[in-house]
DNA sequence: TTGTACGCGTTATCAT
DNA sequence: ATGATAACGCGTACAA
């Protein structure tokens, strides 16, 4: 190697590059130092705006940086500093408008504080989830926000073991003491159910999400509580457990329409399910709310326009994303990693659009009794 | 330091950790090696499933890994291997269903090949864009997929300079020779316009996106071409340039409704604009398509249900995401970085939902002439 | 104000 | 089959 030093550093550099099979030579802090005639550490000080560099030197260094198009290597920096300035967002499906908006909240917040976001879709699949977590652990993400796809705490425990700050979003995991940002699903379910009951509905179908998921159980609980409180018997045949997906909503709505007496209203556990159900209703020639009531969780910005009839429990996914990211960043930067788990409940709104029960459905129901 | 060696490595390890102010000691390949009684490189071989390790040794190493909960450090690996196994996705707004779906396509494809995805929202803001690109350059992402927010090639040139493979998605940048994955906006605009014309419309308003954006110009071009081809004069007052956002659509639609004679149809450059316009139309008490025609770019999975009246040019964002990721990964892994730029055009479909011109609007138009 | 020496956790290279 | 050594690019600790 020393033989090359006669020809100067640039040549040596090229040789090194060839060995690594890279076409463009990586310009390192050392190259800049050489060109500016200073030590690497001085360049480091300039790049990071640290004190202790004379204006003249600073200038020379900056010129060298510009000339060489030097871009600091964040990976090397991370290796040294033991922080990647990266967080991960693990959710079920970015395609769902709810998660999309959460993601935007997280990214905005992270970016503001100088963090980048890696996102992962688990599709509610535990295997994918644990695979991702493993990878993220290897990546040494500084923290992660996750919507756990089940109650299995295994994956999450491995995060704890490795001391990776973690915020659960939207869902709690039973028995796991961890930070959570969510909205009050039980309360939402209570209000939606009560709304239907107030409109005169008694036979109400629940198209639920997977009970493996906390949020889903909460919605079920809120529904049952409220039915009970109003002394309305619950027909188990009208409770369907499925994925938080459109196809399930479609399928179940169909099945439910075959029940007799037919339910006069449907409570969909989220918007996807509601949309699927809506498809089935249209197919059956039923109008909402004239012929059958429909309420659900989640909203869309354009919902008033698109679904002028749909009463919803509108969570605030953007706020949830922001809150989760802020809590996480807080955990990451706080000196002490020992702390009590926090649970942040983000407000949500009951948005009542048109009455979901009409005279018609009320009459029909009375006839059924 | 040597003083501690009497007490064994574990203690030494703890001491080091204290210095770094980390609670949980980082378990390194060396710790595993010590415990298994082998050299670090041997552990490396086991972890990476390389040959040249006897079954017995492999076993001992695996046991040590399990006991210590060793997780390889991907940053160190990256530093060494000069690849981060990370790609970036830079788009305007993940909240837009079109981009959401692109993102999903990209992530699925990347994950399949062992890459993670960092996503960034530029909001069509050049400053944000170049800031992100700079950060991603520092991060040494192995490649990036970007929807450029303008025709400014500066940011992108810096990518070229540093030899970072890059695929443009949805939009070309004039004068920049680069890989692109997009759909044929001009053709889509032609077909949508012709569709309106065939229905008898002659006064058609165009609510366009920013002409700074390639896609937007293409849609304008297709519109103009088709009008011209049909010998229909174009009223400049009926062409509005705005963002690809709902509020603009709302605003412009209002303005356009004040024109006299009022246009009989609206061509919205994307779905957000169309939704905004729809709001304005409803406010004005106009129904689609009975009172006014409306067509647009982009579709939603549920569109048939939600907008049973809306004729659209349905691009295939998922396929676009997949294609972009595949092209990018291909560029990244191909030995030779010199190549001709490729342009991949992803099919799209004209989805005609109900007639967008009715007898009513045709009659009104004739009366106007 | 500026520089030297070393270590962050891996792996390529070469030697045994 | 296994290991010693060096290097990836940067920043801390300490010295000058």
**Spatial distance between the Cα atoms of A287 and A266, rounded to a whole number of angstroms:** 12
Any strand D atom closer than 7 Å to B41 CB: yes
Of B324, B270, B323, residue with least CA distance to B146 = B324
Q: pLDDT at residue A204 above 80?
A: yes
Contact B267, B206 (CB under 8 A): yes
Q: What's the confidence (pLDDT) of residue A361? A: 36
**Spatial distance between the Cα atoms of B44 and B25, rounded to a whole number of angstroms:** 20
**Spatial distance between the Cα atoms of A314 and A350, rounded to a whole number of angstroms:** 6
Q: What's the confidence (pLDDT) of residue B201? A: 97
Which residue out of B26, B71, B83, B166 would a mutagenesis test of the A interface target, given it has the greatest number of A Cβ atoms within 10 Å?
B71
Q: What percent of chain A has pLDDT over 90?
A: 73
**Spatial distance between the Cα atoms of B270 and B296, rounded to a whole number of angstroms:** 5
Does the domain spanning A2-72 belong to CATH 1.10.260.40? yes
* Strand C bases contacted by the protein (CB, 7 Å): 1-5, 7-13
Q: What's the confidence (pLDDT) of residue A25? A: 67
Contact B129, B148 (CB under 8 A): yes
In which residue are the tokens 């605009």 written?
B189
Q: What's the confidence (pLDDT) of residue B304? A: 65
CA closest to C1' of C11 belongs to B80
Separation of B53 CA and C10 C1' (Å): 18
**Spatial distance between the Cα atoms of A11 and A44, rounded to a whole number of angstroms:** 23
Q: pLDDT at residue B366 above 80?
A: no
Q: pLDDT at residue A66 above 70?
A: yes
How many Å separate Cα B107 from the centre of its chain? 10
pLDDT, tens digit (0-9, with 9 covering 90-100), for B263-279: 999 999 999 999 899 98
Any strand D atom closer than 7 Å to B163 CB: no
Any strand C atom closer than 7 Å to A57 CB: yes
Any strand D atom closer than 7 Å to B13 CB: no
Point out the nucleotide closest to B30 (alpha carbon to C1′): C9
Any strand D atom closer than 7 Å to B138 CB: no
Q: pLDDT at residue B327 above 80?
A: yes
Q: Report the top-level CATH class of B185-314+350-368.
A: alpha beta
Does A73 reach chain B within 8 Å, measured CB to CB? yes
User: Average pLDDT of chain A?
Assistant: 87
Any strand C atom closer than 7 Å to B47 CB: yes
Q: pLDDT at residue A28 above 80?
A: yes
Q: Average pLDDT for residues B26-39, to the nearest whole number?
A: 94
Contact B116, A141 (CB under 8 A): no
Indicate the Cα dihedral angle B33, B39, B43, B48, nearest 10°.
160
Extract the tokens encoding B27: 């378990």
Q: DSSP label at A183?
A: E
pLDDT, tens digit (0-9, with 9 covering 90-100), for A127-151: 999 999 999 999 999 999 999 988 8
Q: Is B208 exposed, middle or buried (0-12, 13-18, 19+ CB in 10 A)?
A: buried
Query: B275 and A305: CB-CB below 8 Å?
Result: yes
Poorest-pLDDT segment among A49-53, A311-315, B66-70, B83-87: A49-53
Q: pLDDT at residue B365 above 50?
A: no
Does B26 reach chain A within 8 Å, measured CB to CB? yes
In this structure, the number of other CB atoms found within 10 A of the CB of residue B261 comes to 12
Question: Which chain B residues have a beta carbon less than 8 Å from that of A22?
Answer: 82, 163
pLDDT, tens digit (0-9, with 9 covering 90-100), for B234-292: 999 999 999 999 999 999 999 999 988 999 999 999 999 998 999 899 889 998 888 99
Separation of B118 CA and C7 C1' (Å): 29
Q: Average pLDDT for residues B360-364, to the nearest whole number?
A: 35
Rounded to 10°, the helix B246-258/B271-283 angle is 50
Specify the CATH superfamily of domain A82-183+317-338: Response regulator (3.40.50.2300)
Contact B115, B88 (CB under 8 A): no
Any strand C atom closer than 7 Å to B363 CB: no
- List the 136-175 stretch of A: residues with Cβ below 8 A of B: 137-140, 158, 161-163
- Sequence ranges of chain B with CATH classification 3.40.50.2300: 82-183+317-338, 185-314+350-368
Q: What's the confidence (pLDDT) of residue A22? A: 35
Any strand D atom closer than 7 Å to B363 CB: no
- Sequence ranges of chain A with CATH classification 1.10.260.40: 2-72
Query: Strand, helix or coil at A350?
Result: strand
Containing H/E element for A296?
strand A293-297
Contact A209, A244 (CB under 8 A): yes
Q: pLDDT at residue B87 above 70?
A: yes
* A73, A84, A101: residue with CB nearest B95: A101
Point out the nucleotide closest to B26 (alpha carbon to C1′): C9
Query: Strand, helix or coil at B133?
Result: helix
Rounded to 10°, the helix A29-36/A55-68 angle is 120
Separation of A60 CA and D6 C1' (Å): 32
Q: What's the confidence (pLDDT) of residue A201? A: 97
Q: Is A8 exposed, middle or buried (0-12, 13-18, 19+ CB in 10 A)?
A: exposed
Does B120 reach chain A within 8 Å, measured CB to CB? yes
Does B287 reach chain A within 8 Å, measured CB to CB? no
Query: A84 and B101: CB-CB below 8 Å?
Result: no
Q: DSSP label at A347?
A: P
Beta strands in A34-134 (DSSP E): 86-91, 116-121
DSSP of A225-260? HHHHHTT----GGGEEE--SSHHHHHHHHHHHHHSS
* A22, A78, A104: residue with CB nearest B75: A78
In which residue are the tokens 């190259």 written?
A31
**Spatial distance between the Cα atoms of A336 and A345, rounded to a whole number of angstroms:** 24
Band of residue B310 on the pLDDT scale cut at 50, 70, 90 = confident
Which residue out of B67, B131, B305 would a mutagenesis test of the A interface target, given it has the greatest number of A Cβ atoms within 10 Å?
B305
Q: pLDDT at residue A100 above 80?
A: yes
Query: B118 and A120: CB-CB below 8 Å?
Result: no
**Spatial distance between the Cα atoms of A16 and B79, rounded to a whole number of angstroms:** 15
Residue count of chain A: 369
Contact B320, B181 (CB under 8 A): yes
How near does any CA of chain B get to the CA of A23, in Å?
8
Q: What percent of chain B has pLDDT over 70?
A: 86
Torsion B126-B132-B137-B138 (CA) sign? positive
Does B44 reach chain A within 8 Å, measured CB to CB? no
| Residue bearing the bigger pLDDT, A152 or A81 | A81
Q: What is the largest CA-CA distance in chain B?
A: 101
Cβ-based contacts under 8 A for chains A and B:
133
Point out the nucleotide closest to B79 (alpha carbon to C1′): D8
Any strand D atom closer than 7 Å to B361 CB: no
Query: Strand, helix or coil at B69?
Result: coil
In which residue are the tokens 């909402």 written?
A288
How near does any CA of chain B get to the CA of A172, in Å?
25
Contact A117, A142 (CB under 8 A): no
How near does any CA of chain B get to the CA of A307, in Å?
8
Q: What's the confidence (pLDDT) of residue B305? A: 65
Query: Strand, helix or coil at A283?
Result: helix
Q: What's the confidence (pLDDT) of residue A183? A: 96
Query: Strand, helix or coil at A146?
Result: strand
Query: B116 and A107: CB-CB below 8 Å?
Result: no
Q: pLDDT at residue A177 above 60?
A: yes
Query: B118 and A306: CB-CB below 8 Å?
Result: no
Q: What's the confidence (pLDDT) of residue A220? A: 98
Query: A94 and B86: CB-CB below 8 Å?
Result: no
Query: B73 and A100: CB-CB below 8 Å?
Result: no
Q: pLDDT at residue A3 above 90?
A: no
Q: Average pLDDT for residues B353-364, to the nearest whole number?
A: 43
Any strand C atom closer than 7 Å to A158 CB: no
Q: Is B253 exposed, middle or buried (0-12, 13-18, 19+ CB in 10 A)?
A: buried
**Spatial distance between the Cα atoms of A268 and A312, rounded to a whole number of angstroms:** 10
Contact B79, A80 (CB under 8 A): no
b/e sequence A217-227, b meaning 16+ C-beta within 10 Å: bbbbebbbebb
* A103, A140, A337: residue with CB nearest B73: A140
Q: What's the confidence (pLDDT) of residue A43? A: 95
Q: What is the largest CA-CA distance in chain A?
A: 101
């Amino acid at each position: 190697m020393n033989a090359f030093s006669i020809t100067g550093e640039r040549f040596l550099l090229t040789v090194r590059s060839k060995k690594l099979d890279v076409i463009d030579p990586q310009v390192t802090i050392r190259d800049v130092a050489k060109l500016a005639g200073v030590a690497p550490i001085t360049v480091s000080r300039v790049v990071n705006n640290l004190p202790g560099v004379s204006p003249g030197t600073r200038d020379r260094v900056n010129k060298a940086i510009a000339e060489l198009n030097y871009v600091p290597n964040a990976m090397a920096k991370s290796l040294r500093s033991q922080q990647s300035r990266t967080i991960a967002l693990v959710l079920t499906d970015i395609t769902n408008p709810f998660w999309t908006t959460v993601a935007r909240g997280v990214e905005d917040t992270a970016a503001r504080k100088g963090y980048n976001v890696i996102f992962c879709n688990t599709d509610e699949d535990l295997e994918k989830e644990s695979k991702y977590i493993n990878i993220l652990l290897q990546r040494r993400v500084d923290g992660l926000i996750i919507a756990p796809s089940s109650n299995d705490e295994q994956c999450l425990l491995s995060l704890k073991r490795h001391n990776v700050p973690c915020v659960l979003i939207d869902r709690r995991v039973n028995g796991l003491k961890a930070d959570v940002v969510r909205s009050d699903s039980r309360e939402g379910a209570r209000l939606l159910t009560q709304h239907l009951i107030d409109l005169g509905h008694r036979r109400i179908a629940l198209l639920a999400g997977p009970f493996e998921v906390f949020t889903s159980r909460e919605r079920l609980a809120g529904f049952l509580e409220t039915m009970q409180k109003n002394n309305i018997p619950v027909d188990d045949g009208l409770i369907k457990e499925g994925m938080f997906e459109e196809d399930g909503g479609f399928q179940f709505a169909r099945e439910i329409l075959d029940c007799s007496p037919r339910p006069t209203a449907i409570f969909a556990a989220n918007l996807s399910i509601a949309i699927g159900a809506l498809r089935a209703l249209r197919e059956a020639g039923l109008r909402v709310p004239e012929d059958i009531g429909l309420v659900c969780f989640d909203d869309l910005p354009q919902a008033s326009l698109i679904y002028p009839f749909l009463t919803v429990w509108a969570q605030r996914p953007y706020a949830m994303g922001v809150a989760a990211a802020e809590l996480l960043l807080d955990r990451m930067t706080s000196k002490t990693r020992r702390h009590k788990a926090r649970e942040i409940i983000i407000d949500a709104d009951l948005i009542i659009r048109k009455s979901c029960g009409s005279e018609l459905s009320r009459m029909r129901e009375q006839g059924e009794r």
